[in-house]
Amino acid sequence: MEFTPKIIYFLCAWCGSGGSETAAAYRLKYPENVRPFRVMCTGALDPVYILRSLIEGADGVVVSGCHPGDCHYNFGNFRGRRRIAIIKKMLDSLGLDGERLWLRWVAHGEGKKMIDTAKEFNNYITQKGANPLSNRWDT
């Protein structure tokens, strides 16, 4: 039986979601096991949501937002980048592999980049295997 990872994809409401909308306009598709969630800004994404996603069974998490310098909230993406770096170190120190969390910048018109990121991360996590915290018996 082939492993299909559970992936959460947090998209900022401005550029990340815009990339998703651009992808949809061109009928580009991401893997069905990738679950997108819209947040106002990568800087407003509470680390608890990322950690809870992993604790509750996600095999990986991607966060996408505006490119540095283009944030609609001025410095939100810089704040988000710092938070992601800290969470990755925390995951590594707990032995949970910080590489299960990716941060990628996706602009509004970069639908293909959003789709490519989802596919690349899906392949990466598929090779890596299940999250050690996940309860596979409930799937």
Tens digits of per-residue pLDDT, 27-64? Answer: 999 999 999 999 999 999 999 999 999 999 999 999 99
Strands of the 60-65 sheet, one edge to the other: 34-39, 7-12, 60-65, 101-105
Question: pTM surpassing 0.85?
Answer: yes
CA 120/CA 8 separation, integer angstroms: 14
Residue 42 CA to its chain's centroid (Å)? 10
CB contact at 8 A, 46 and 18: no
Phi-psi group of 48: left, alpha or beta (phi > 0 → left; psi -120 to 50 → alpha; rest → beta): alpha
Residue 24 CA to its chain's centroid (Å)? 18
* 60 residue type, one letter: G
Residue ranges and CATH numbers for the domains of the chain are 7-133 (3.40.50)
In this predicted model, what pLDDT tens digit does every residue of 74-133 receive, in sequence order?
999 999 999 999 999 999 998 889 999 999 999 999 999 999 999 999 999 999 999 988
Tokens of 29: 């598709």
